[in-house]
Amino acid sequence: MYLIKKIAWMAIGLILFFAPVTLSTELTPKAGGMENTTIHAQKHLPYVPGRILVKYRSAATAAAKTDMQTLYGLAVKKEIPSIGTLVFKLPEGLDVKTAVRQLRDDPRVEYAEPDYYAHPEAIPNDPAFSTQWGLNNTGQVIGGVAGRPGADINAPAAWDLTVGSDSIIIAVIDTGVDIGHPDLRPNLWVNTGELAGAASFDDWQPNGLDDDGNGYVDDIVGWDFFFNTNNPNDESKKFGGHGTHVAGIAAARGNNGAGVTGVSWAARIMPLAAMDYNDGGLPISAVAGALGYAEQMGAHVINMSLGLYQDSHTLRNAISAVQHAVIVCAAGNDGTDNDVRPHYPSGYPNANLIAVAATDQFDHRVWYSNFGAASVDVAAPGARIYSTYSRFVDASGYTFLGGTSMATPMVAGLAALIRAGNGTLSPVQVVSIIKGSVDKRPSLSGRVSTGGRINALQALRAAGVGGGGDSGGGSGGCFIRTLQSVH
């Protein structure tokens, strides 16, 4: 049996290796959105150089706004319509700190702040035995270490109740998603309002029109909010891969005979790219724009495997503007107490937001995972997690990564299962159910507010899901155990 599995996976690997990365459908190249390369030669700044975020007071007139922009030499780069915030490009000679200091004192301005960078919350790990222990831990050996049986989210038993539904949308705000990946393409969200008569995404061609009137032209499978294009592919060879890995954990296609399975087998993945290819960070302006789009376009769950330690008016307002989705946020990977050193957006108190720490194969908090008895809600598997990966970065299309970035989509996938199984629940109720159904663990007591690691079966039962509901295609989840191991 082992030999047969090994040969099968070698064959799949060869197919993926030689499969073309590009799609037949044309999406706008990202190069058109690049910033000034001279400006971006300054690496590792905490914010985007040369631009700031400003929100005017409601009493400011159009003339007053124009006068202020002329006075400071500001040029509007774009607007974040969901929260009424403008992104301004600064004139030569005016640095970010000076501009923010001056504008904060201007009576026409509600707030002015830098366009801070958030960063993906992942830590790479060397590939070992390719097994998804976080879904079903049998004590299998990973990285030379045998885990503790049962230190998992109990996914196979949960799949006996539901494997998810293609009516549920998970927005992934990240580096992008490899939208042609064979384990993700079947679950790719398609904006049917932009099809313009095409039978499917495969038949679609751009027409340069905003067919659905949402403010975005040809946004057929999402948007890139840094480059301002309809191409959310995870293409950066230097900084990419993260978003594709996250998407696979949450919703890689299940029961398709290849690769891995997501927590939700059938949920639709909405790729929302927000990464600056020059720096590798995710500007708050891009993240906020993506949050607004996810809310506008009907996402049920939003995955945010990213974070920063600087509070931001723009990010806080964008989070608060989301009312119809469960927002799942990584707690961070510095091994620090978020109650003492706040981390965002995981630290915002919104009732539809859940903050996630990472556990290992023994149900212990991973040493690098941030924690917080008041500010972090639950834990989920986040060490040595095997998932899909951008083929622009690694032709194999799969790899191991670890971090709270990987724990977060475990929870996002669970939220998608709950919403698929019981559509009457509000986002706040879904969050409450996840928090109230954890497996309590001594290692998490005093480290996360619930003291526990998520349990998918218990959460679904608490949500009133039962009877083998399977709206996502395929039969019950017991047989998925045969797909768990990758040798």
Give the active site residues.
174, 242, 405
Instruction: In whole angstroms, give the CA distance from residue 117 to residue 280.
Output: 9
Helices and strands of the chain, counted as H and E runs: 10, 22
Q: In this structure, what DSSP letter does residue 200 have?
A: S
Q: What tokens were used for 347?
A: 């630290």
CA angle 399, 377, 458 (to 5 degrees): 80
DSSP result, 344-378: BTTT---TTEEEEEEE-TTSPBPTT--BBTTT--E
Measured in residues, the chain has a length of: 487
Instruction: In whole angstroms, give the CA distance from residue 449 to residue 373.
Output: 5
Helical ranges in 278-426 per DSSP H:
284-296, 313-320, 404-421
Q: SS3 for 78? A: strand
Q: What tokens were used for 160?
A: 């006996």
In a 13 Å sphere around the CA of 449, the CA atoms on its Cβ side amount to 16
Instruction: In whole angstroms, give the CA distance from residue 331 to residue 318.
Output: 18
The amino acid present at 149, given as its one-letter code, is: P
Q: SS3 for 192? A: helix
Q: In this structure, what DSSP letter does residue 277 have?
A: T
CA angle 83, 408, 27 (to 5 degrees): 60
